[in-house]
Structure 1
């Protein structure tokens, strides 16, 4: 059934506070395929409520489109561009910054560094397990370490989220097919609750052939097999205590290109059988003392293993990471001001190894960071202020040489409600990281005596070797209003300007085609500037949103950076327009439509064509209790195109899938 809370209340929203009003206006209807949870309004930071609503909206969008992997989950987020084509070559960019420079976590577990050419777990999670996907762009000191360009946080569901009202246990069975890659998928979930405790067990798998691009060409080396196994115990809100324990194993395997997976396409290239795997265990404990808002404690511990096994080449690259975060958020009042003060400590240690022909190549490569942070958020009437400071103590092995140091990174922000639903906001933050964008396989192949900052022609030549740092700026305004066109509608608009500068990116010398890595250097600075415009309007069971985004990545000489040059750094794309609409026609039937348009780009060394794509979605709850049918059609008009974030030109880059008709049967009890 549709949640009509927004539609009924928005006409009375003028009498509410700004935070409550924004939460009401942005809460989307809950279609049958989504899991919705109440929006907490007690936070002092209005932005936090907006981010939480957007996090749930991304999951609903992914489920409407029958997302097949993590790239699919993020594909319709206006700030993110996906490139690469096939699974093993996919890269994604957040506001022009490549994912290697982001803090990416699943249930708090950091996903670590690239294994070979790409991050090991970019595609590694069943989208049906997601509760929320948070894209954090506004800087804050309590968002974790190493987030040079921002953070992307995935949160999985609990058993309690899936249970039907009044039932102590349930099951969910799913069978699916997609036409572009002739993929067959299946999933089974069982979940139950006893008192405050819940248990969820899930298994899923997909077998896919080489997908067909627009105009009917098969993309060699894009077939694969996915398997996901997940279990989660959740004890929620027992005398203020909550405990979550989860374990997951995700595996992808197939015949893929090696090394040049996202380079110029070659349908005669040799394919090698590769297996990528992620295993993650997470403990999440929270305690909120009843009647005392000064105690809101959270402890998160995790263990994460990733591996890439090229069985044909007899090589294995793997990482093992441990980490944790302990924080307390105290909420209190001092006179007329309200405060939300967070104090915490986090740590992360990762060890990477590379073996070829059965023997270890190079030594184990370790990276470690310990961070202390404080984040204050204060509210005084219509004004909200934020200030934070993070201290990082870091060390990273570069061959036989260990580079260590420490750094303070401040952050600050402000929001001012001007009245009539208008809010101004601004933020600034810094970040530091010492491990670079170098894949583990190359890092482990370094010689014992590498050189540092000896790359001729770079600004860093002959200077001291440094950790990477970034400075992020963001600012703009929001407008929210109930009863704009109809007494029971809701409207929200925002305009955001942003700028990110990354300095001293750590890059290697050598490593290509099995050659040893002989040195490291700090690359020249890059800058990404842009803006985003977002509009959303909702009337009862209908919601439509429009987003326009632009991001321009420039090198130190002011030249635009394209995907072919900005490998693992940044990439410029054309302007993007994304229009999405959803209508719950009846309680048992819903439809959706998405327009995705990317402008062409012809400037400096970049010359890439744009595209216009149309996607359709439908959901039907059948007369048989618990059985639903979902349909999603991606690239309805079978457009032949390649993403501008894929390496190459219009004629050489890997083409994306053509028309893809996805059908799923889902049974819930």
Structure 2
């Protein structure tokens, strides 16, 4: 539904009023980059410096609910060094410091999201309505980041009954309705949860929506973007004692629609629509055991995931499926006030299958890992961290040949606290990723395999220097980094012969830049700001907005946000801005990609602890733009897929 001129006028007036009110306070905020956690409801975005787990950015459910984020792009837009491109939801890809999510370790409730169906579509499908928090670890992972964390790790955690039960409640229910104007979207959620026994809780949660094609800025329709997604979450938590916790979770999602063959391209002659079906499911069993001894803090988990997609025309049907299962076990030993050590192992199996009328092709990969990470504090001001991962990759390729690679990846970090206001660190980390199953849709067309000769696994090395300053509520974090990915594994298929080739890229991929976050909290105001500069190169040439499974280039990015809480009325007002500068550093022959600035506002009211009403306006100035991270020029044509224009969203929820 196209927003009327009258509604737009009211929106712009309200937005400018809020913007002026926010700037008049001369304050800037975000939680300090320490382990301190503020109690304010405004504290929904946290940068936490954990010596074992790298500098981590956490987005909590409060932030997602306040802004009425409906997808990964909208949820992560406040993190300056994270970019999500792709246009419509089914095509979104996450880039952390320019590195694509295929080179990150991504988990949902501990289940690895390793399925790779089609490089023209998004790999991650997560219902933000069900999320409790998102953790983003930027930069090459350390020993605890899991296998294949070349560019870092992203962890999604869903809610459980304890997050929804009111004080004193044994059973409850949640009903939520929402409406969005841009695509005439209607949706709702229904949840049942309870704690029938002191040691047992359960949650059953379902979410559905229906929308038409959305409109880009200015009102132009974007074809084949309608959808009817459905998702569900089931979770049981058993706490037999204060020392143990057992959690069983099931995540289900379905999204069927008529879409373009290549979801992240615009309307082009070689990009016809077809009927697509998508479904995913994951199951996770997690156990923690932390008795009254410093030697045991045990964590273990097993998982299984399955993702399927089909594309059907009047003459043919193709199907792709990715399955994974695995687990990990680790133990953290507290060796006293000066140091601690975590040791563990993990094992994962990934299988991809492509199905066409000509038959079924498949590949199966196995990853075995051992890891340890330690923290040593020789003096109160000093912190030394070091560890390593050993990974062994085995791949049975489409021709039943075995490909093996293994590597030991070390890491080290030194931190120093100059005084209560200033601290700094320097770190170096390495991660490794061997050959893994190729994308399932392309695999189904393979007719032969070129001989593999001395194929190496990919290694990533990241060097970082970070400085943190804290002065009376003001926190400034600055990180300078340099990442080099060597022996990048490339998989290509000759469209004429059908011969698939695996090889190492001739040149290195390089990502270097700086990320700055400034934060300040004062009274009922929280204001946060960030800046990111990233330079991406393949060899000595700029990477540009290449259609690549490894990374992409971006213009400089600025993020800015203001929260203002009217405590006496239980009302929270939010303003968020993203400014992406023009991408000029592109390969020869490519056009430059324009920059853009996007501004959103939101307000929520909680008249009581059971009721919540929200309104948000995304892209309030109805900007027509293509998100960086989306292919801009394709086969000589500049006809990309545009992002949604102005969208007014209304939500209402009630807890029984």
**TM-score, shorter chain, exceeding 0.5:** yes
Report the 3-state secondary structure (helix = DSSP H, G, I; strand = E; otherwise coil) of the residue aligned with 1:22.
coil
* CA deviation profile, 1:153-187 (whole Å, cap 9, x unmatched): 11112211211111112211111111121111110
Q: Which residue of 2 aligns with 1:377?
A: 375
* Separation of aligned partners in 1, 2:520 and 2:50: 23
* CA deviation profile, 1:368-411 (whole Å, cap 9, x unmatched): 10000111111231111111111111111332222012211111
* Separation of aligned partners in 1, 2:86 and 2:174: 33
Q: Which residue of 2 aligns with 1:308?
A: 309
Aligned pair partner of 2:82 in 80, 105, 111: 80
Q: Which residue of 1 aligns with 2:232?
A: 229
Q: Which residue of 2 aligns with 1:461?
A: none
- Number of aligned residue pairs: give it: 612
* Distance of aligned partners of 1:444 and 1:553 in 2 relative to their CA distance in 1, 3 Å threshold: same
Q: Which residue of 2 aligns with 1:297?
A: 298
Q: Which residue of 1 aligns with 2:514?
A: 531
Deviation at 1:429, TM superposition (A): 1.3
* CA deviation profile, 1:407-466 (whole Å, cap 9, x unmatched): 11111112111103211012211111123584123245444542336xxxxxxxxxx211
Q: Which residue of 1 aligns with 2:365?
A: 367
TM-score by length of 1: 0.87
- 1:156 partnered with 2:158: yes
Determine if contact 1:101/1:437 at 8 Å carries over to the other structure.
no
Deviation at 1:467, TM superposition (A): 1.3
Deviation at 1:352, TM superposition (A): 1.1
Q: Which residue of 2 aligns with 1:132?
A: 133
Q: Which residue of 2 aligns with 1:16?
A: none
* Separation of aligned partners in 2, 1:644 and 1:555: 18
Q: Which residue of 1 aligns with 2:603?
A: 618
- 1:593 partnered with 2:569: no
Aligned pair partner of 2:216 in 198, 204, 213: 213
Determine if contact 2:52/2:373 at 8 Å carries over to the other structure.
no
Report the 3-state secondary structure (helix = DSSP H, G, I; strand = E; otherwise coil) of the residue aligned with 1:386.
strand
* Separation of aligned partners in 2, 1:50 and 1:666: 34
* Distance of aligned partners of 1:388 and 1:572 in 2 relative to their CA distance in 1, 3 Å threshold: same
Q: Which residue of 1 aligns with 2:5?
A: none
Determine if contact 2:172/2:193 at 8 Å carries over to the other structure.
yes
Q: Which residue of 2 aligns with 1:69?
A: 71
* Distance of aligned partners of 1:285 and 1:106 in 2 relative to their CA distance in 1, 3 Å threshold: same
Determine if contact 2:311/2:319 at 8 Å carries over to the other structure.
yes
Q: Which residue of 1 aligns with 2:17?
A: none
Alignment map for 1:17-36 (pairs within 5 Å): 22-24=34-36, 27=38, 29-30=40-41
Q: Which residue of 1 aligns with 2:8?
A: none
Q: Which residue of 1 aligns with 2:553?
A: 572
* Distance of aligned partners of 1:505 and 1:438 in 2 relative to their CA distance in 1, 3 Å threshold: farther
Aligned pair partner of 2:490 in 507, 527, 545: 507
Deviation at 1:604, TM superposition (A): 4.1
* Separation of aligned partners in 2, 1:111 and 1:551: 26
Report the 3-state secondary structure (helix = DSSP H, G, I; strand = E; otherwise coil) of the residue aligned with 1:608.
coil
Report the 3-state secondary structure (helix = DSSP H, G, I; strand = E; otherwise coil) of the residue aligned with 2:102.
helix
* Separation of aligned partners in 1, 2:138 and 2:243: 31
* Separation of aligned partners in 2, 1:316 and 1:222: 20
Aligned pair partner of 1:477 in 457, 467, 474: 467
Alignment map for 1:322-471 (pairs within 5 Å): 322-333=325-336, 338-357=338-357, 360-362=359-361, 364-380=362-378, 381-400=380-399, 401-435=401-435, 438-443=438-443, 445-452=445-452, 464-471=454-461
Deviation at 1:21, TM superposition (A): 9.0
Which range moves more in the overlay, 579-588 or 319-328? 579-588
- 1:495 partnered with 2:478: yes
Deviation at 1:58, TM superposition (A): 4.7
* Distance of aligned partners of 1:72 and 1:175 in 2 relative to their CA distance in 1, 3 Å threshold: same
Deviation at 1:45, TM superposition (A): 3.8
Determine if contact 1:22/1:50 at 8 Å carries over to the other structure.
no
Determine if contact 1:264/1:648 at 8 Å carries over to the other structure.
no
* CA deviation profile, 1:520-545 (whole Å, cap 9, x unmatched): 21113110101111011112332111
Deviation at 1:128, TM superposition (A): 2.2
* CA deviation profile, 1:254-300 (whole Å, cap 9, x unmatched): 11111x3223433995311111111100000000012x121100011
Determine if contact 1:103/1:151 at 8 Å carries over to the other structure.
yes
* Separation of aligned partners in 2, 1:345 and 1:80: 29
* CA deviation profile, 1:634-661 (whole Å, cap 9, x unmatched): 1000011111211124952211100011
Deviation at 1:209, TM superposition (A): 0.9
Question: What are structure 1's unaligned runs of at least 5 residues?
Answer: 1-18, 454-463, 485-489
Deviation at 1:330, TM superposition (A): 0.5
* Separation of aligned partners in 1, 2:443 and 2:271: 26
- 1:181 partnered with 2:210: no
Deviation at 1:118, TM superposition (A): 5.0
* Separation of aligned partners in 1, 2:52 and 2:491: 39
TM-score by length of 2: 0.88
Q: Which residue of 1 aligns with 2:646?
A: 659
Q: Which residue of 2 aligns with 1:9?
A: none
Determine if contact 1:120/1:306 at 8 Å carries over to the other structure.
no
**C-alpha RMSD of matched pairs (Å):** 2.5
Determine if contact 2:364/2:437 at 8 Å carries over to the other structure.
no
* Separation of aligned partners in 2, 1:627 and 1:45: 36
Determine if contact 2:524/2:565 at 8 Å carries over to the other structure.
yes
* Separation of aligned partners in 1, 2:39 and 2:618: 22
* Separation of aligned partners in 2, 1:438 and 1:591: 45
Determine if contact 1:432/1:468 at 8 Å carries over to the other structure.
yes
Q: Which residue of 1 aligns with 2:247?
A: 244
Report the 3-state secondary structure (helix = DSSP H, G, I; strand = E; otherwise coil) of the residue aligned with 1:212.
coil
Determine if contact 1:299/1:326 at 8 Å carries over to the other structure.
yes
Q: Which residue of 1 aligns with 2:193?
A: 191
Determine if contact 1:562/1:645 at 8 Å carries over to the other structure.
no
* Separation of aligned partners in 2, 1:347 and 1:165: 40
Q: Which residue of 2 aligns with 1:561?
A: 543
* Distance of aligned partners of 1:172 and 1:95 in 2 relative to their CA distance in 1, 3 Å threshold: same
Report the 3-state secondary structure (helix = DSSP H, G, I; strand = E; otherwise coil) of the residue aligned with 1:285.
strand
* Separation of aligned partners in 1, 2:515 and 2:578: 15
Determine if contact 1:437/1:568 at 8 Å carries over to the other structure.
no
* CA deviation profile, 1:107-141 (whole Å, cap 9, x unmatched): 1100113111256651x222122122111125320
* Distance of aligned partners of 1:430 and 1:394 in 2 relative to their CA distance in 1, 3 Å threshold: same
- 1:628 partnered with 2:615: no
* Distance of aligned partners of 1:603 and 1:79 in 2 relative to their CA distance in 1, 3 Å threshold: closer
* CA deviation profile, 1:542-571 (whole Å, cap 9, x unmatched): 211110001111011x221112x2511111
* Separation of aligned partners in 1, 2:65 and 2:205: 17
* Distance of aligned partners of 1:172 and 1:466 in 2 relative to their CA distance in 1, 3 Å threshold: same
Determine if contact 2:199/2:238 at 8 Å carries over to the other structure.
yes
Q: Which residue of 2 aligns with 1:456?
A: none
Q: Which residue of 1 aligns with 2:504?
A: 522
Which range moves more in the overlay, 499-508 or 608-617? 499-508
* Separation of aligned partners in 2, 1:630 and 1:446: 50
